[in-house]
């Protein structure tokens, strides 16, 4: 089996949550690498791709088929709107990409499957964004 065929089979086996997690991981890593390299074009590309991810998420959250609770949808939409506005500043070099990376990591943390033997997570995320974002 070729690597491409294996990757395609692996992607087909993912559930939607795993696919979303992988997308967030991919775009977060790209922003981290562009920020480390201090490469303006790569930063713009990485932030623009991340912004598209959030716009796609925004469209899904606004669709009637989305089954998430209204409160959670509202909070995620608020973050999506913020990401859209903030991304424009980050692409111009007027703002750091660090808050975008932190938000993505916080969302990824919320997507991780819970270990039923350990109960709910009790320690707060290291960034402290949970109070700012009300997630």
For 48-86, the pLDDT digits (tens) are 999 999 999 999 999 999 999 999 999 999 999 999 999
pLDDT of residue 125: 36
In this model, does residue 23 exceed pLDDT 90?
Answer: yes
Mean pLDDT of 14-32: 93
* pLDDT at position 16: 84
Domain coverage including residue 35: 11-112+121-133
Tell me if 1 is assigned to some domain: no
Domain count, the chain: 1
pTM of this structure:
0.74
The pLDDT of residue 24? 96
Cα–Cα distance, 35 to 15 (Å, whole number): 30
Q: Does residue 3 lie within any of the structural domains?
A: no
**Residue 2, in any domain of the structure:** no
């Amino acid at each position: 089996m070729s690597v491409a065929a294996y990757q395609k089979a692996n992607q087909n086996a993912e559930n939607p949550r795993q696919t979303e997690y992988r997308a967030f991981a991919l775009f977060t890593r790209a922003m981290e690498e562009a920020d480390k390299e201090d490469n303006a074009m790569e930063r713009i590309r990485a932030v623009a791709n991340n912004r598209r991810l959030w716009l796609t998420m925004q469209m899904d959250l606004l669709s009637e088929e989305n089954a998430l609770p209204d409160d959670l949808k509202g909070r995620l939409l608020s973050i999506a709107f913020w990401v859209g506005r903030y991304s424009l500043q980050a692409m111009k070099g007027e703002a750091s990409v660090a808050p975008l990376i932190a938000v993505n990591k916080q969302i990824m943390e919320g997507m991780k499957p819970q270990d039923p033997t350990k109960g709910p997570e009790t320690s707060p995320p290291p960034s402290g964004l949970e109070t700012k974002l009300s997630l």
